Amino acid sequence: MKVGIAGAGFMGATHAAGWAETEAAIAGFVAETAKEAGRLADQYHAHVYPNYEAMLADVDVVDICTPTHLHYEMTLQAAAAGKHVVCEKPLARTVEQGRAMITACREAGVKLLVAHVVRFFPEYALAKSAVENGQIGRPAVIRLARGSFRPKKSVGNWFLDFEKSGGMMLDLMIHDFDYARWVAGEVESVFAKSIGHAKGDAASVDYGMAILKHKNGALSHIAGAWAYPPPTFRTRLEIAGDAGLIEFDSAATAPIEILLRKPEAEAPDVGLPSSPLSESPFTTQIKEFYNALAHDRSARVSAEDGLAAVQIALAAIESAKTGKAVTLRSEETRFLEAQS
pLDDT at residue 154, rounded to an integer: 73
Q: What is the mean pLDDT of residues 12-39?
A: 96
How far is it, in rounded angstroms, from Cα 221 to Cα 238? 10
CATH class of 118-278+301-339: alpha beta
Between residues 122 and 259, the one the model is more confident about: 122
Chain CA centroid to CA 8, Å = 19
Count the neighbouring beta carbons within 10 Å of the beta carbon of residue 143. 17
List every span in the chain annotated with CATH 3.30.360.10: 118-278+301-339
Q: Pairing mode, if any, of strands 61-64 and 2-6?
A: parallel
List every span in the chain annotated with CATH 3.40.50.720: 2-117
Predicted structure pTM score: 0.90
Query: What is the tens place of the pLDDT at every residue in 217-232?
Result: 999 999 999 988 888 8
**Burial (Cβ within 10 Å: 0-12, 13-18, ≥19) of residue 238:** middle
Q: Between 3.10.180.10, 3.30.420.10, 3.40.50.720, 3.40.50.620, what CATH number should domain 2-117 receive?
A: 3.40.50.720
Query: Which among 59, 33, 57 is positioned nearest to 46, based on CA atoms?
Result: 59
* Cα torsion through 191, 193, 198, 201, rounded to 10: 0
pLDDT at residue 227, rounded to an integer: 87
Contact status, residue 105 vs residue 79, Cβ threshold 8 Å: yes
